[in-house]
Amino acid sequence: MSRPEKGKIATNGGGGLGQNPFAGLAGLEGLGALPPGPGSGGAAGAAASKAAPPEKNRGRVDVLRTTAGRGGKTVTLARGFIGIGTPEKEALCKKMRSAAGCGGTVKEGEIEIQGDQREVVARILREAGFRPVLAGG
């Protein structure tokens, strides 16, 4: 095994770290083999990864209707997302726009959909694993 150059970090898997703490488990009776996982290449693992539902509790999202600062036009807002980035918000916005048949955008971390589309927005958020809470009359 070659030594890394000065200032470099070895990426060989740490072969020189000592013994494997799990090596003694290989010979024990009664331990079954692991089920095929997503990375094992088995057909069951591939089918399970495609059919896996999204996480059920990704957090609360407020869905409200507002007209403030929009010249009297009604807009549905989805706000309060925790732990997701702008690309996922844009993907959710695209689904909402196509389901509602109207325009929308992502501004300042909130999804804005034109019109009173609270039920459509809440359904899509529920399918994505969020817990939508309707507000705004």
In single-letter form, the type of residue at position 52 comes to A
| pLDDT over 90 at 130, yes or no | yes
CB 113 within 8 A of CB 102: yes
Q: Residue 104: what pLDDT?
A: 95
Residue 129 has a pLDDT of 92
Q: What do you get for the CA distance between the two ends of the chain, in Å?
A: 69
Residue-wise pLDDT tens digits, 76-107: 999 999 889 999 999 999 999 999 999 999 99
Assess contact for 134 and 117: CB atoms under 8 A. no
List pLDDT tens digits, range 8-60.
766 665 555 566 667 667 667 666 666 666 655 555 555 555 555 556 778 89
Q: What is the model's pTM?
A: 0.59
Categorize the per-residue pLDDT at 121 as very low, low, confident or very high, splitting at 50, 70 and 90: very high
Q: Which long-range contacts (CB under 8 A, 24 or more apart) does 92-100 make?
A: 92/124, 92/125, 92/128, 95/124, 96/120, 96/121, 96/124, 99/123, 99/124
User: Which domains, ranges and CATH numbers included, belong to the chain?
Assistant: 60-135 (3.30.780.10)
Amino acid symbol at 76: T
Pairing of strands 104-107, 60-66: unpaired
Q: What's the pLDDT score for residue 53?
A: 58
pLDDT at 83: 86
Q: In 3-state terms, what secondary structure has residue 63?
A: strand
